[in-house]
Structure 1
Amino acid sequence: MQQQEEQELIRRIVNGETDLYAILARRYGRVVYTLVSRIVGCPEDAEELAQDVFIKAFRSLGRFDGRSSFPTWLYRIACNTAVSETRRRKREWACIDEKRLANLPDSDAVRIEEWDGRQERLDALTRAIELLEPEERALVTLFYYEEYPVSECAQITGITESNVKVRLHRIRKKLYILVNTQLHGNET
């Protein structure tokens, strides 16, 4: 649906044709569920949280100003909801010493992208992603799984594009260390 058509649909919903909201919920339901699921890591919780996202979005629809696209606005609500819920659970996240991250050569961290087809490493990578902080998992999900450009990741997360790039770089290093620790007991 064109952005202009979507804005008209939103205007109609805000003006009382609330049954039209089902169109938006159907259109974006799968993507919102997938995003939330990857951040919280539990399909059952993700279903409930995705519903919460659509309720929050519906209640806030009158404040949607169109500065970003509707999906970007909705994904920001989804991302914030999932991150908040994950933080609320107070899980332990992987904590890696800053010196260890700084001492890891950038070229080593880039090697993560060469692991395609190496199932053992991919399984370790999946487990490592689960150890990331919620905000980090959100960025990994948006950039790598959903393949949003840095600019869209910035809009959804509310951080600058340059900060998205820096965080993704640090996350790659962190994942490299976590995967190698799982496989070998160290980061080499």
Structure 2
Amino acid sequence: MTNQDDSFYINKVKQGDLQAYTYLVDKYKNMAFSIALKLSRNTEDAEDAVQESFIKAYHKIDTFAYNSKFSTWLYSIVYRTTAYNLRKNTISTQEITDTTFHNLEDDENTDLSDAEQKRFITEAIDKLPEIESIIITLFYLNDNTIAEIESITGLSKSNIKVKLFRARKALKIELKHILKDEIKSIL
């Protein structure tokens, strides 16, 4: 589906067609939930934030001016709503603690299925600090540009690039650690 499809449905919603909004919710609910979950680290809080965000987006859809993709506009609402709820509820989040990671032998051959690869990558991303997890998810899994991520998170482009660099390094280390543990459990 292209951005033109979104425009069609956005215009219908602006004209009062509530059913057209269902299309937009269905299309973007999974990534919206992923962003909220990575930030809040709590399923119930993420669900609440996503629901609140979709309600806010519906009420503010007249302000959407097509200056960016609808997804960028929506995800910025999700991000800010989740962050505000976290501050409001003073929920503390847990950072990754320093752990000694051991490298896998370069010559080890591991043939993983697509499902296993996805599971390991998701597990590693979930262990990253919240903002790095969100940036990695938006950039690689959702194909957002740096400019779109800047719009969503409110971070500067240079800050996003630094966090993306750090996240990639941390992800590589975390994947090596996870795969090493997986190989040990198999053997």
Normalised by the size of structure 1, how large is the TM-score? 0.65
Matched residue pairs, number?
163
Aligned to 2:3: 3
Aligned to 1:153: 149
Over 3 Å counting, the alpha-carbon distance change for 1:93 and 1:21 in structure 2 is: same
Paired with 1:123 and 1:153, the residues of 2 have a C-alpha distance of: 20
User: In the alignment, residue 160 of structure 1 is paired with which amino acid?
Assistant: S
User: In the alignment, residue 39 of structure 1 is paired with which amino acid?
Assistant: L
Q: CA deviation at 1:145?
A: 4.7
Q: CA deviation at 1:78?
A: 1.1
Which residues of structure 2 form unaligned runs of 5+? 98-111, 113-119, 176-187
Q: CA deviation at 1:140?
A: 3.6
1:89 aligns with 2:87: no
Q: CA deviation at 1:64?
A: 0.4
1:163 aligns with 2:167: no
Q: CA deviation at 1:125?
A: 5.0
Give 3-state SS (helix, strand or coil) of 2:67's partner: coil
Please tell me whether the aligned partners of residues 41 and 93 of structure 2 are also in contact (alpha carbons under 8 angstroms). no
Aligned to 2:30: 30
Paired with 2:15 and 2:152, the residues of 1 have a C-alpha distance of: 26
Cα displacement string for residues 77-114 of structure 1 (whole angstroms, at most 9, x for unaligned residues):
11112222233434155499xxxxxxxxxxxxxxxxxx
Q: RMSD of the TM alignment (CA)?
A: 3.7
Give 3-state SS (helix, strand or coil) of 2:134's partner: helix
Return 28-37 or 139-148, whichever deviates more: 139-148
Please tell me whether the aligned partners of residues 125 and 133 of structure 2 are also in contact (alpha carbons under 8 angstroms). no
What percentage of residue pairs aligned between the two structures are identical? 29
Aligned to 2:69: 69
Paired with 2:123 and 2:11, the residues of 1 have a C-alpha distance of: 46
Paired with 1:95 and 1:27, the residues of 2 have a C-alpha distance of: 32
Paired with 1:25 and 1:84, the residues of 2 have a C-alpha distance of: 21
Q: CA deviation at 1:65?
A: 0.6
Which residues of structure 1 form unaligned runs of 5+? 97-116, 180-188
Please tell me whether the aligned partners of residues 39 and 134 of structure 2 are also in contact (alpha carbons under 8 angstroms). yes
User: In the alignment, residue 153 of structure 1 is paired with which amino acid?
Assistant: I
Aligned to 2:106: none
Please tell me whether the aligned partners of residues 57 and 77 of structure 1 are also in contact (alpha carbons under 8 angstroms). yes
Paired with 1:85 and 1:37, the residues of 2 have a C-alpha distance of: 12
Please tell me whether the aligned partners of residues 72 and 152 of structure 2 are also in contact (alpha carbons under 8 angstroms). yes
By percentage of residues, which structure has more helix?
1
